Amino acid sequence: MKLLSCFAVLSALLLCQCQPVPLPQLPGQSEPVVYMPDEMCYLDEVAPLVKVDLKYCGSDNFVGRPIAGYTTGHRAILRKDTALALKRASEALAEEGLGLLVWDAYRPARAMKDFYAWSETADDKTKAEFYPNITKREIYEHRYIGKISEHSWGVAVDLTLFDLKTGKELDMGGRHDLLDESSATRSPLITAQQRANRLKLRDAMAAAGLRNYSKEWWHYFLIDKGVCYRYDFPLNDHMSKRNNQQ
């Protein structure tokens, strides 16, 4: 009985939704600052070659507005081991004159709830651009989005390639967040060059320890994830580590 009890406690701890400890709220802040969990980091501090344009901070995304949890920060956050994997990939690609551009990294759990709430509304203003051939319900049925995500564990990224000399993104045969059959990494609906560009990204990421989600050429997750926790702290560009406050 004790063994079963201990196992139940351990399982509950592993499945818990971890919340960082809040710092005191400062004057003028709409939301309290939080400590960043020790296992997380700002991507720019680990992989400075990687460019970042977090699409859910603005309106250039399938919902068409800023997403819950993204309104107080613009710096990408990842678990340290995932950030180190991106560092390896970016350094290898730089030797070929290519760079990585990240569109999303750590994603608060509240953002997933925001996506689902949006999916139950009649708002279809982004349909033509982001999900032209399916309904909002089919976004979930076809597994482009789920109610939970590896992004909320800090071990997944959405990204593309760009030319280091020109700054131009490589032609991948479709934009980010295009929830469509043509977004499959090996889709037959794109040109040979577009597919080659997708596979170039896939191979570079695989060499660094990240695996592609085959339905979305831009989505990658850490292969050796280990124990994962789902986080829900909002993005903030000036979070401190708790150990630094002691």
- In 21-176, which ranges are E strands? 40-42, 51-52, 77-79, 98-104, 156-163
Place of tokens 């063994």: 3
Residue 24 dihedral angles phi and psi, to the nearest 5°: -60, 140
CA distance 30 to 22: 13
Region label for 173, one of left (φ > 0), alpha (ψ between -120 and 50) or beta (otherwise): left
Pair of tokens at residue 138 = 């089919």
Catalogue the active-site residues. Answer: 216
Q: Tell me the three state secondary structure of residue 221.
A: strand
